[in-house]
Amino acid sequence: MGTNDMLKTLILSAKDVRELLEMGEVMSAVEDAFRAYGEGKLWMPPKAYLKAGKGDFRAMPACMAGAASIKWVSFQPHNRSKGLPTVIGVMIYSDSETGYPLAVMDAAEITAYRTGATAAIASKYLARRDSHTLGLVGAGRQAYSQLLAHAEIFKLELIRIYDIRPEASQRFADFFPHLHIQASPLEDTASSDIVCTMTPAREPLVKREWIRNGTHINAVGADADGKQELDPTILSHAVVVVDDLRQASAGGEINVPISKGMFKLEQVDATLAQVVVGEKQGRKADDEITVFDATGIAIEDLATAKLVYEKAQQQGRGLAIELVETG
């Protein structure tokens, strides 16, 4: 890192971060992080939740050789009416040997990109290789990232989008005029080869009878206690892979079915890290239904923050300040 008189903290705005992110690079970094996690080279505790108003705050630390990070992120579902994003977050990226804060950066785009990247990585290992239709349930910010990430891997011939707000579905379709996108009923959207659910629902939206054999589902919206998007019988008939057992059982798609005795933790087939390193197999047959329970874990943030910081240094982006006195 250099001598003490050269140490400064890099401040990266939302604009800086947005312009430094490229989905293919993020996907590579995140997949490497899951591989390293599976090999015991990355460490993290479960995310901590703090209820606040009608939403919550979440603290998400992680560490690897040479670097550590913590994301302080808030989800406030009514922020849109105030002209604010529903997700607001800040990332602190530090040198793990000295603790020096190398960067403080906006975390909203990092969260959006790494979440889309992780789901697409899960699809890479769990979806049928010939998958060519993508169903997106929810047309918020995450839908854009999910499409960008999946388009990196799959040849998508049709993208179906469903949202309770038809204007949101139309905005999404207009944003990608070069792609074949249809605003569709929920039932049709759920009949796609790959289905990504991205809503704050607390009651199941997607019914078992809508899901065809061979479908892969990325359950992204359920990321806190009480949230649920899928008919729990889907889980009972599926190969279930989670990003983290502790987080998924406490606040992922499996949390409500477990609390009601409709699903057992022992029914989880693998973690994504185990699948990536080859310790466990995900999909075993083309007619299986597979589900990835994505709660969002801190190693994804660390990998993406590291990428952003290194690119910012290379390109001379951000504002360098003496945040910490070095003596």
Which residues are within 8 A (CB) of 135 and not within 5 positions of it... i.e. 6 or more apart? Answer: 159, 160, 161, 162, 184, 188, 189, 190, 191, 192, 194, 195, 196
pLDDT at 75: 85
Condensed to tens digits (0 to 9), the pLDDT of residues 101-124 reads: 999 999 999 999 999 999 999 999
pTM for the structure as a whole? 0.93
Residue 34 located in a structural domain: yes
Do 307 and 272 share a structural domain? no
Residues 209, 256 within the same domain = yes
Interval 156-164 mean pLDDT: 97
Residue 315, domain member (yes or no): yes
* 149/94 same-domain check: no
Q: Are residues 311 and 270 in the same domain?
A: no
Helix (H, G, I), strand (E, B) or coil at 296: coil
Do 42 and 81 share a domain, yes or no? yes
Split at pLDDT 50, 70, 90, the class of 2 is very low
Q: Count of domains in the chain?
A: 2
CATH number, residue 67: 3.30.1780.10
Task: Please indicate, yes or no, whether residues 19 and 38 belong to a single structural domain of this protein.
Answer: yes
Clarify whether residues 35 and 142 are in a common domain. Answer: no
Say if residue 22 is in the same domain as residue 71: yes
Residue 208 pLDDT more than 60?
yes
User: Does residue 177 belong to any structural domain of this protein?
Assistant: yes
Q: In 10 A of CB 67, how many CB atoms? A: 20
Q: Are residues 95 and 166 in the same domain?
A: no
Distances (CA, A) of 163 to 55, 174, 199, 296, 318: 21, 15, 9, 22, 36
Are 274 and 203 part of one and the same domain?
yes
Which residues are catalytic, by number?
71
What per-residue confidence (pLDDT) applies to 6?
A: 66
The answer to whether 134 and 196 are in contact (CB under 8 A) is yes
Domain containing 57 equals 4-110+299-321
